[in-house]
Structure 1
Amino acid sequence: MKRVAVTLLLALMPFVAGINLSEAAGGTVRIGGLFAVTGPASFLGEPEKKTLEMLVAEANAKGGINGMKIEAVIYDTQGDATKAVQLATKLIKNDKVSVIVGPSTTGESMAVIPVAEKERVPLISCAAGIKITEPVKKWVFKTPANDHVAAEKILNHAAKANIRNIALLTVTDGFGSSGREQIKALAAQKGFKIVADEVYGPKDTDMTAQLTKIRGIRPDAIICWGTNPGPAVVTKNVKQLGIRIPLYMSHGVASKKYIELAGADAAEGVMLPAGKLAIFDVLPKTDPQVKLLKEYNASYKKNYGVEASTFGGYAYDAFLLIANAVRKTGGSTPEQIRNGIEQAQRLVSVSGIFSMTPRDHNGLDLSAFEMVRVTKGDWQPIK
């Protein structure tokens, strides 16, 4: 099991929106990281880990503020829920962390929640499933917008396009099951008819059987809910079968990796809700997130030679919430960090603008997403 441990002095970083931690002089903040760096979910965990490491390097270069030191201990869960639980326990019992960032997936996060709640250590999940934070759990937060927000974005767009009969194709993991549940509930409220409800396994490599069945039902559109590689396979199969109806994807594929895996030709025209990082270069200058998004992308590209991804942004936001919490409370204990995270208001981040409350431990709304369409191998906002 690979372990990466880094120690840093927290400084005012140019891309952390002006946070000043001078009030939090002295002491140590020890952060644990649980990311799926390898394995099927590595497209999530690798940029999360790299983002946190980048923040460490940037902060070290600034020399720190008033002696407040941050130590980050990062473990690779390989996307395995059992390992995630073991490593969460290790972070708390052995490494004595004050807060945990991650895990990368909904299934892992749900498995780790009882550990965080029992040990009274705040957990900031990098996964999207609504059940992570609803119902509210005292010690659990998350940075991706809830999947019901993404589902509502899709259905709002579909309604404007006069789409009424929808076929679902969802993966049978925690993320897919949660998304399926949210879409069906919202569809019923908004007057849509679910005419097909198909599923596929996380390791399936061909979905032509499900799509052939869907084609025979003749829906107005297909909504596929999952994370790669499955959605990329679905996109290829849709193209191969000559299905020409609108294809919506979830925010779980909102990175260039999806277009790369599916192929630009097959992905052309696919629509999905994405965080603003995917289209920051065409956002109006007045958008409150633009400056931070540009600086994050530039820093990530300088360090790793590729553009920053929405998924890495989830770890960025967790770090931002922790830094803001330390500033607010002036301390680094689990209780102080938890309280500070819950007090975050109008905090501009990669994923949106966080406003946490005791009743909302996600703090994002519909403004966190923009509907985008794949056009010539890139994301373009849908006007």
Structure 2
Amino acid sequence: MGGKRMKKWIVALLIVSFAIFALGCQAAKTEKTQTNTGSSDTSKEASNEPYVVGAVVSVTGPTAALGVQEKNTLLMEADKINKAGGINGHKIDLKIEDDQSVATNAVIAASKLIDQEHVIALIGGTGSPATLAMKPKTAEAKIPQIAMAAGIKITEAPNEWIVRTAQSDAVAVQKVIDYMSKTLKIKKFAILSDANAFGQSGSTELKKLAPKAGLEVVASETYKTDDTDVSSQLTKINGAKPDVVVVWGTNPGPAVAAKNMKTLGMKMPYIGSHGIANKTFLTLAGSAAEGIVFPAGKILVPSSATGDQADVIKTFTADYKAKYGENPNSFAGHAYDAINILANALKEAGSNNEKLRDAIEKTKDFVGISGIFTYGADNHDGTTSSDMIMVEVKDGKWIEKK
């Protein structure tokens, strides 16, 4: 009998021990979940630990002409914030990853920043394909993401955890449509677009808005990002006799198209996207860039800005040139806006994920480089067509096209 009683006691003790162990594991899991969602950040705020912020940009690869200046700007602005004492006593610990202009690399980089570096927010990516690829990851982790790319789908639902600082394709396309219908007063145009997410976003929006402005799309062709010749597509377009050719993409495709159009003797106007608002396009296209018109932020022609924005652009341009020896482009402006909008939200909300997301969404009348930003529950783009101008390449320089 004593042996049986002892066995019962041992079994009972094992059951109790297992229950305590299970409860402990569940508590640890709950604590970890709370930490990941930003609800257990009191100690971080009290100890003035650095705010770890991640960024994924294209420092190498086809979109490096955009990403290098973004990286430079993020580093410069983070340094300014830190030298000024940080944000409520917290320095910014900026972790930057290069996605090499490859969307799958962007996902790997975002995963590293979120899972290993434990960033509280993520800035990026440079291009639409990379940004769209990272969007599910940041949403799943409940990490606020501030995109610097223009593809329309970036801020389409589900979009709870993402906003952007680049003017969206919808804004840029509307600017192009207005220019063709109201300034040039043409009736028909053709589209040559990159087959990637950015190119197809612009192409789709052009086709959507054209009929509303009384415009007809008479031809639509695509090319691959790394194509070195698009003569066959342009020959088909030329046969459709458009009044204008709209080329939607980022380097190097638009420069290839400009050279091919010149070689083919195509005389109709070339209108580009805001993806060519950088000096690399001028270098790649050479003399073929002359006369090309495209929508861009006001930083490309600083004299086009007025009021407080003119002062912001002037100061930023001077600071960037002093540090890096060249003028900043539109994409540097997107990075300036991203890190400073984030900094303002951190001042308001601290590092709690949901509060930080809400603070970003409540941004109102922020005077930035790319525009005057106001977000909202139904507006994660922040800018309007009034934040852009039409720019023309003249004598290898940018001038406002009115």
* TM-score under structure 1 length normalisation: 0.90
Matches within 5 A, 1:25-174: 26-64=48-86, 66-160=88-182, 161-174=184-197
Distance 2:144 2:84 in 1: 27
C-alpha distance 65-126 of structure 1, shift in aligned 2 (>3 A): closer
Which runs of 5 or more structure 1 residues have no equivalent in the other structure?
1-22
- Separation in 2, partners of 1:325, 1:199: 40
Residue type matched to 1:374 in 2?
V
Alpha-carbon distance in structure 2 between the residues aligned to 1:28 and 1:56: 12
Match of 1:260 among 280, 283, 287: 283
Trace 1:317-336 onto structure 2 (pairs within 5 A): 317-329=337-349, 331-336=350-355
Partners of 2:154 and 2:332 in 1: CA distance: 19
Per-residue deviation, 1:64: 3.7
Q: Which residue of 2 aligns with 1:217?
A: 240
* Inter-partner Cα distance in structure 1 for 2:383 and 2:78: 26
Task: Give the deviation of 1:62 after TM superposition.
Answer: 3.1
Residue 15 of structure 1 aligns with which residue?
none
Is the counterpart of residue 182 in structure 1 residue 205 in structure 2? yes
* 2:296 match: 274
Equivalences, count:
357
Counterpart CA distance in 2 for 1:136 and 1:353 is: 24
- Matched residue type, 1:317: D
Deviations 1:69-88 (A, max 9, x none): 21111111111111111111
> Residue 271 of structure 2 corresponds to which residue in structure 1?
248
Residue identity opposite 1:380 in structure 2: I
Q: In the aligned structure 1, how far is the partner of 2:47 from the partner of 2:216?
A: 57
In the TM superposition, residue 362 of structure 1 has moved relative to its aligned partner by 1.2
> Secondary structure of 1:373's partner?
strand
Matches of 1:65 and 1:107, distance apart in 2: 32
- What are the Cα deviations for residues 292-321 of structure 1, in whole angstroms up to 9, with x where unaligned? 111111111111111101111111111011
One-letter code aligned to 1:292: V
Name the counterpart of 1:205. 228
User: How far apart are 1:27 and its partner, in Å?
Assistant: 4.5
- Structure of higher CA gyration radius: 2
Is residue 233 of structure 1 aligned with residue 256 of structure 2? Answer: yes
3-state DSSP of counterpart to 2:163: strand
TM-score by length of 2: 0.86
Residue 145 of structure 1 aligns with an amino acid whose one-letter code is: Q
The residue type equivalent to 2:330 in the other structure is: T
1:89 and 1:115 in contact (8 A); partners too: yes
The separation in 1 between residues aligned to 2:228 and 2:294, in whole angstroms, is 22
Q: CA deviation at 1:212?
A: 1.6
- RMSD of the TM alignment (CA)? 1.6
Q: Distance in 1 between matches of 2:158 and 2:110?
A: 20
Residue deviations 1:241-291, cap 9 Å, x none? Answer: 11111110000001122112101x2111111101000000x236x433111
Structure 1 residue 347 displacement after superposition: 0.4
Are 1:301 and 2:324 matched, yes or no? no
Partner AA of 1:307 in structure 2: N
Distance verdict in 2 for CA 1:156–1:99, change over 3 Å: same
Question: For structure 2, which runs of at least 5 residues remain unmatched after alignment?
Answer: 1-44
The structure richer in helix per residue is 2
> After the TM superposition, which parts of structure 1 deviate over 6 Å for at least 4 consecutive aligned residues?
none
Which one-letter code corresponds to 1:323 in the other structure? Answer: A
C-alpha change, 1:24 and 1:362, in structure 2 (3 Å) is farther
